[in-house]
Amino acid sequence: MTTPSTTTTSSAAAKVSPSKEVSESHRDLVGEHGRTTIADQVVSKIAGIAAREIEGVYDLGGQAARIVGRVREAIPVGGGQSITQGISVEVGEKQAAVDLGLVANYGVAIHDLAAAVRSNVINSIEQMTSLEVTEVNIAIHDIHFEDDETTGETAEPRVQ
């Protein structure tokens, strides 16, 4: 005969440790002492960082988003790359849904890349927020070739 075991986690350990056990014990964002609200932008940033962690992702967003991102990078004050570029989220009380667009490096198996990005985004959001991710929709907008960056600069003109 076996007896059920229980694990007690101190509040100090719960604050420091990002373990799955702690996140499952805090699944309810409405507690005895108050409510925790997670903004859409927080989930967008987590998704953006998680997607960029996967090898084979060149950039996030479609062409228009990448152009705006390049303009933003050129601005000296307050500029820089937006982590949420190409990402759209819907966040409810207990669930989140993510849509993201990306540019893949040439030679990467796109199906495998999408699966890896989807898995990393889901795991990161669920671990950090305790929200259930219902879906991650991925649109591959383009393929990046290493020659793309240099072709326009060094090519000979076709006419004189």
The pLDDT of residue 40: 96
48-70 residue pLDDT tens: 999 999 999 999 987 555 455 55
- Closest by CA to 39, choosing from 106, 92, 97, is 92
Fold for 36-146, please state it.
Alpha-Beta Plaits (3.30.70)
CB 52 within 8 A of CB 33: no
The pLDDT tens digits of the residues spanning 65-101 come to 545 555 555 565 555 558 899 999 999 999 999 999 9
Tally: H helices and E strands in the chain: 6, 6
What's the pLDDT band for 46 if we cut at 50, 70, 90? very high
Helix (H, G, I), strand (E, B) or coil at 158: coil
- Give the C-alpha separation, 80 to 70, whole Å: 8
